[in-house]
Amino acid sequence: MILVTGGRGAVATDLVSLLRSDGHTVRVGSGRPEQLPAGIPAVACDLRNPATFAAALDGVTSVFLYAEPECIAEFVSAATEAGVTHIVLLSSSSVLDPDAASNPVAKSHLDAERGLADAPMTVSVLRPGAFAGNARGWSFAIKADRPVSLPYPHAYTDPIHELDVVECAYALLTEPDHRGGVYTLTGPQTLTFTAQIDLINQITGRTATIAHVTPDAWKEEMAEFIPAHYADGLLDYWRRRDGVPTLITNAVSTLTAHPARPFTTWLEDHASEFTA
């Protein structure tokens, strides 16, 4: 049996659908299992509450684990006792940044990886970079015909389609070939935020524009939606990527045997979110 944690997340949702459609026995863990759709084999698994671990892991051999480090030692202990043989951790490429230990965006992922470093079972680590879905953060301004506020419009990211992350996790959970590795996942292109806005216009027919704002102005604008310490971490990351292309990897094709989907594919799949 496979336990998928973070059951209400986008990656977990699509991963569960893929696993179940191919006949795999799945249990879906969530801190709020009652909020999962009807028909989903849900169980309480709050990664900050070790009291939920034993029941969630009973009979489980593989786990898809979100990077919540607070009780990672207790999770490893419970998984070991339950007989889990393989964990796939959804981490982040931000752990590779020089300030990962102090950057709030990266630290939770880094701490989760460290918590699994000496685990007795096989551990596979997925480190996606920027999700293509982050572009949703611009949709409200675009639909309102307002400029998109960007403190670093020429910062590069490597937008990856969430389905590529899902398929990489699926491959590791169901096939033995690449287990135990650490994989930095990227999309097939490194694109500036300006280039991404241009592609949104091209795919959706919108005429979105950019307002180049100061980091402080952006932080104030986002205060209602993004905690200050997390906003600082994002700003630090974007500052380092300003004018600096991201290194693209072939990890998606290694794990899935197909190339990573381009950003335009994600936009075509989600164009209505920028126009409706």
Q: Which residues contact 118 (CB under 8 A, 6 or more apart)?
A: none
| Contact in structure between 180 and 122 (CB atoms under 8 Å) | yes
Statement to judge: residues 22 and 148 lie in one domain: no
Q: Identify the three-state secondary structure at position 230.
A: helix
In a domain, 204, yes or no: yes
In a domain, 179, yes or no: no
Statement to judge: residues 139 and 54 lie in one domain: no
In a domain, 151, yes or no: yes
Statement to judge: residues 79 and 103 lie in one domain: yes
In a domain, 211, yes or no: yes
The CATH number linked to 93 is: 3.40.50.720
In a domain, 83, yes or no: yes
Share of the chain above pLDDT 90, in %: 90
In a domain, 173, yes or no: no
- Tens of pLDDT, residue by residue over 136-183, are 999 999 999 999 999 999 999 999 999 999 999 999 999 999 999 999
Pairing of strands 156-157, 191-192: antiparallel
In a domain, 177, yes or no: no
Statement to judge: residues 153 and 274 lie in one domain: yes
Q: Band of the pLDDT at 39, cuts 50, 70, 90?
A: confident
Q: Which residues contact 61 (CB under 8 A, 6 or more apart)?
A: 1, 2, 83, 84, 85, 86
- Tens of pLDDT, residue by residue over 64-118, are 999 999 999 999 999 999 999 999 999 999 999 888 898 888 999 999 999 999 9
Domain that holds residue 275: 130-160+186-247+261-276
Residue 252's identity, in one-letter code, is V
Number of domains in the chain: 2
